[in-house]
Structure 1
Amino acid sequence: MSPRTRNLLFGALGLAVVVVTFAVVLPRIASYRDVWDAVKTLDGRWIGALAVAVVLNIATMAPPWMIALPGLRFRQALPFTQASTAFTYIAPGGGIVGMAGSYGLLRTWGFRSNEVARAVTLTGVWNQLANLLLPVLAVTLLSVEGARDALLTTAAVVGAAVFTVVVGALAVVLWRDSFARAVGDLASRIASRLLAIVRKGPATGWAESFVTFRRTTVDLIRRRWAWLTIAAIVGNVTVFAVLLVSLRAVGTDSAEVTGIEAFAAWSLARVLQLIPLTPGGVGPVELGLTSILVGFGGPNAEVVAAVLLYRALTVVPTLLLGLATMGAWRWLGPGRVREGVAPGAGNPPGG
C-alpha cells in the first residue's frame, strides 16, 4: 500500500469517526433541539464566567514556553502558543504536528535550533506526563468519594505505567554524557541508513550534539523544573475550569455531577485527545466525555450541551487566533533578549 493510499484511508477513517459521532451517536444521547434549549438558558452571569475561563485558559498557555525558552516574552509567547496549538486542530497527528509546528515557528524568529529543540522537548514531555497522570489523580479522588469507574481505572493503570517508562527513559538519557552519546550514535546510524536510501550523505556529529543537548537540558531542568511543573499544572487546571463552568452554566449542578466526577471524565478525555486519529481528537473526545458524564448521572441534554460548549470554547478561539497569528507572523518578531544579557532574562515569568 502506497503512503498516499494509506493517508487517504486514514483520513477517511477519521472523517467517518467525526460523522458517526456528531450525526449518529450524540443525537441518540440527546436531540440537538434539546441541547440548544439548554444552551439558550445561559444568562449574562454565566456568559461572563465562561469568558473569564476562556481568557485564563488562553493566557496560561504562554508561561511554560517562557520558562523552557529563555528570552521568549509573554507578548510573543501568547500568539505563538495559539499558532502552534492551531496546527493540532487543522491536521491529524496531534502533538507531533504541534511540536513540529512549534519548532518551525520559533526557528523563523531566530532562536537557535538546540534552544528550540530543548524547549519543544521539555514542554512536550511535561504536558504529556501531566496527561498521563491525570487519570491516576482522578481515580484517587473518586476512591475518596467512594466511587469507581472501570474505564478510568484502566486508563490510570496504563497512564502510570507509561509515565514510569517515559520518566525512566528520560532519566537514563539525561543521567550521564555516555548515555546521551550512545543514544546519539544510535540515532545517527538509523538516520544514515535512511539517508542512504535517498542517496544522501551520512548523518554526522549527532553524538556530541546529544551530549550538548543533555548538558543544557539538565541545567535548565535543575533551575526551572518547579516553575515548569507549576505552569503545566495551572495550564491544565484552566482547561478543566472551562468544562466545569460549562456544566454549571447549562444547569448540571453538583448533585448530578460533582466536581471530582467532572475532573475524572475530563482526565480521560485528555488521554483520548492524544490519539492521532482526528485533528484535536474531534469525535473521540466528545463521545468519551459525554458518555462518562452521563454515566455519572448528568442529564443527557445538559451534558451534551456542556461538552459541545466546552469543546467550542477551547478549540475555536485558539484556532482563530492561531490562524490570524500565522497570517501576521512576519510582523510579530520578538525583538529577542537573550538570557544572561538583559536584566531578568533568566527569571521565571513574573520574576
Structure 2
Amino acid sequence: MRGRRRQIVFGALGLAVVVVTFAFVLPKIANYGDVWDVVKTLDTAWLLALLAAVVINIVTFAPPWMVALPGLRFRQALPFTQASTAFTYIAPGGGIVGMAGSYGLLRAWGFGSREVARAVTLTGVWNQLANLLLPVVAVLLLSIEHQSDAFLSTVAVVGAVVFSIAVCLLALVLWSDGLARGVGEAVEAATNRVLRIVRKGPLTGWPERLVAFRRSTVDLIRRRWAWLTLAALLGNITVFAVLLVCIRAVGIGASELTWVEAFAGWSLARALQLIPLTPGGVGPVELGMTGILVGFGGANVEVVAAVLLYRAFTILPTLLLGLATIGAWRWLGPGRPREGVDAAAGNPPGG
C-alpha cells in the first residue's frame, strides 16, 4: 500500500512538472503562436536535412547492441533498439525501464540470460557514462571559447565525480574475482542499510553475481571496448546533429549561437534525462535546454521552436517505430534455436 502511494505521488509530481513546463513556463519564454509561425515556414531544404539527420540517428541505435551481443544482426538490432527505447518514453524511470524492457525483449527472442544481461549492462553503462561525461566536454569547449555557464559547470563537476566513481567501481569489478566479490559485498551491505530504513527486504547474492558478471564480461570488453565506445560516441553525435540542424533550420545562425554553445545546451539536456522523474525527461529537458540556449544569446522564439522540433523528431519517430515493433515482436524474431540445443552443441546462446 505504501509503495503504491509512493508511485501515485511520484506520477503526480511528474505530471505536474510536464504541465507547468508546457502550460506555464515555455509560453512565458515564447508565445506558441509565434513558435508555430517559425515552424510552418521552414525551408524545404532544411526539412530534408532534418529528415536525413533523423534517419541517420535511428540507424546508429543498432551498432552498440551488435557489439555487446554477438549474434544480433542489424536487421534485428534496428527494430529492437526502437522498441527498447520506446519503453523509456511511455513510463517514468528512464534508463532503468529501458534496460528492463531490453532484457525482456531479447529473452523473448531466445538469447541466453547471461549474454542478454551482459549486453544490457554494457550498453547501459557505456551510454550513462557518456551522458555524465558530455557536460565535462562541453565546459572544456566553452573554456576554449572563453565562455562559461555556472549551472552547466555545476552539472559537469557532478558528472565528472559520478563518472570517476563509476569507472573506478567498474574497474574494480573487472580486475579480479576477489575484488568483484568484495565490491559486491560492500554494495550489498550499503544497499541493505538503506532498505532497512524503508523496511524492505535485504538483497542477497550480489558478490557471486558480480563474480559471474566479471567472468562473462571481461573477455568481451577486452576484445570490443574500442568498438563499443566508438558506437556509443557515434550514436550521441548523431543525436546532437539533429539538434544542430533544428537550430539552423529555424534561422539561428552561427553568429547568434555557435555549435559549441548548442553542444553545451544539448549536453545539459542529456544529463537531465538521467533524472527518472518523467518519461524521456519530458519537461526538465526542454526547460534546461531552452534556458541555456537563450542564455547564450539565442532568440526566445527561435530557440523554443528548435528545442520543440528537436524533441519531436528524436522522440516521436522512435516511439512510433518502437510501439509498432512491440506489437509485431513475435513475427520479428530471428528464429534462434532453443538454449538447450545451443548448450549441447557447445555454442553459447547469443554467440
1:89 corresponds to: 89
SS of aligned partner of 1:81: helix
Tell me the amino acid that sits aligned with residue 300 of structure 1: N
1:153-164 matched pairs, under 5 angstroms: 153-164=153-164
2:178 corresponds to: 178
Checking the alignment, whether the CA contact within 8 Å between 1:173 and 1:183 is kept in structure 2 is yes
Checking the alignment, whether the CA contact within 8 Å between 2:169 and 2:183 is kept in structure 1 is no
Shift of 1:3: 1.2
Q: Distance in 2 between matches of 1:332 and 1:133?
A: 35
Tell me the amino acid that sits aligned with residue 218 of structure 1: V
Q: Distance in 1 between matches of 2:303 and 2:188?
A: 50
Q: Distance in 2 between matches of 1:308 and 1:131?
A: 21
Checking the alignment, whether the CA contact within 8 Å between 1:272 and 1:281 is kept in structure 2 is yes
Checking the alignment, whether the CA contact within 8 Å between 1:134 and 1:267 is kept in structure 2 is yes
Shift of 1:180: 2.2
1:102 corresponds to: 102
SS of aligned partner of 1:285: helix
1:308 corresponds to: 308
Tell me the amino acid that sits aligned with residue 99 of structure 2: M
Per-residue displacement from partner, 1:213-242 (whole Å, max 9, x unpaired)?
212211001000000000010000000000
**Aligned-residue CA RMSD in angstroms?**
2.4
2:113 corresponds to: 113
- Cα distance change of structure 1 residues 94 and 303 upon mapping to structure 2, 3 Å threshold: same
2:288 corresponds to: 288
Shift of 1:212: 3.1
Checking the alignment, whether the CA contact within 8 Å between 1:71 and 1:336 is kept in structure 2 is no
1:1-351 matched pairs, under 5 angstroms: 2-183=2-183, 207-336=207-336
Q: Which consecutive unaligned segments of at least 5 residues does structure 2 have?
A: none
Checking the alignment, whether the CA contact within 8 Å between 1:76 and 1:332 is kept in structure 2 is yes
- Cα distance change of structure 1 residues 203 and 6 upon mapping to structure 2, 3 Å threshold: closer
Shift of 1:40: 1.5
Tell me the amino acid that sits aligned with residue 21 of structure 2: T
Checking the alignment, whether the CA contact within 8 Å between 2:290 and 2:303 is kept in structure 1 is yes
Tell me the amino acid that sits aligned with residue 295 of structure 2: G
Tell me the amino acid that sits aligned with residue 126 of structure 1: W
- Cα distance change of structure 1 residues 153 and 178 upon mapping to structure 2, 3 Å threshold: same
Shift of 1:103: 0.6
Tell me the amino acid that sits aligned with residue 240 of structure 2: F
What is the TM-score normalised by the length of structure 1?
Answer: 0.90
Shift of 1:181: 3.1
- Cα distance change of structure 1 residues 270 and 261 upon mapping to structure 2, 3 Å threshold: same
Q: Distance in 1 between matches of 2:39 and 2:186?
A: 55
Shift of 1:341: 9.3
What is the TM-score normalised by the length of structure 2?
Answer: 0.90
1:349 corresponds to: none
Shift of 1:295: 0.6
Checking the alignment, whether the CA contact within 8 Å between 1:72 and 1:336 is kept in structure 2 is no
Per-residue displacement from partner, 1:221-268 (whole Å, max 9, x unpaired)?
100000000001000000000000000001011111100000001000
Tell me the amino acid that sits aligned with residue 224 of structure 2: R
Shift of 1:182: 3.8
Q: Distance in 2 between matches of 1:58 and 1:52?
A: 10
Q: Distance in 2 between matches of 1:257 and 1:203?
A: 52
Per-residue displacement from partner, 1:291-337 (whole Å, max 9, x unpaired)?
11111111111110000000000000000000000000001112349
Tell me the amino acid that sits aligned with residue 288 of structure 1: G
Checking the alignment, whether the CA contact within 8 Å between 2:172 and 2:183 is kept in structure 1 is no
The share of aligned pairs that are identical, in percent, is 73
Tell me the amino acid that sits aligned with residue 121 of structure 1: T
Shift of 1:44: 1.3
Alignment coverage as a number of residue pairs: 337
Shift of 1:76: 0.5
Per-residue displacement from partner, 1:121-149 (whole Å, max 9, x unpaired)?
10011001100110110001001111111
- Cα distance change of structure 1 residues 42 and 198 upon mapping to structure 2, 3 Å threshold: closer
